[in-house]
Amino acid sequence: MSRPNPLTTTAPALPATPSISQQIAAFAAGLTPGDIPADVRENARLHVLDVCGTALAATRFDFAQHALAGISNLGESGNSSVIGMNVRLPMRDAVLMNGILAHGLDYDDTHPGAIVHPTASAFPCALGLAEQRDASGADLLLAYILGVEIATRLGVAARGTMLPQGFHTTGIAGHFGCAVAAGKLFNLSPQRLQYAQGFAGSTASAIAEHRADGAWNKRLHPAWAGVGGITAAALASGGFVGTRKVYEGVDGIFRSHTGTHFNEVDMDAMTRRLGEEWLLGEVAIKPFPICHFLHACADAALAIHRRHKVNPDDIARVRALLHPGTFHSIAEPAEMRRRPTSDYMAKFSVQFVLAACFVRGRFGFAELETEALNDPQILALAQKVDHEADPDSAFPKYFSGGVVVKMKDGREFVHMEKINRGAGERALSEADISEKFFDNASLVVSKPQAGRIRDAVLDMERRSARDLACTLTLK
Q: What is the pLDDT of residue 154?
A: 98
Section 350-357 average pLDDT: 98
pLDDT in tens, 437-463: 999 999 999 999 999 999 999 999 999
- For the cut 50, the answer to whether the pLDDT of residue 66 exceeds it is yes
Distance CA 131, CA 386 (A): 49
Q: What is the pLDDT of residue 259?
A: 93
Q: Which residues are CB-neighbours of 62 under 8 A, at least 6 positions away?
A: none
Section 118-122 average pLDDT: 98
Helix axes 295-308, 350-360, angle to 10 degrees: 30
End-to-end CA distance of the chain: 61
- For the cut 90, the answer to whether the pLDDT of residue 258 exceeds it is yes
Distance CA 348, CA 426 (A): 23
Of the candidates 242, 252, 267, the residue with the CA atom closest to the CA atom of residue 25? 242
CA angle in degrees (0–180, nearest 5) for 374-375-376: 105
Distance CA 173, CA 162 (A): 10
Q: What is the pLDDT of residue 76?
A: 87
| Confidence band for 368, pLDDT divided at 50, 70 and 90 | very high
What are the structural domains, with CATH classification, of the chain? Answer: 20-282 (1.10.4100.10), 292-421 (3.30.1330.120)
pLDDT in tens, 280-337: 999 999 999 999 999 999 999 999 999 999 999 999 999 999 999 999 999 999 999 9
Report the predicted TM-score, pTM, of the whole model to 2 decimal places.
0.93
Q: What is the pLDDT of residue 16?
A: 66
Rounded to 5 degrees, φ, ψ at 400 are: -65, 160
| Confidence band for 233, pLDDT divided at 50, 70 and 90 | very high
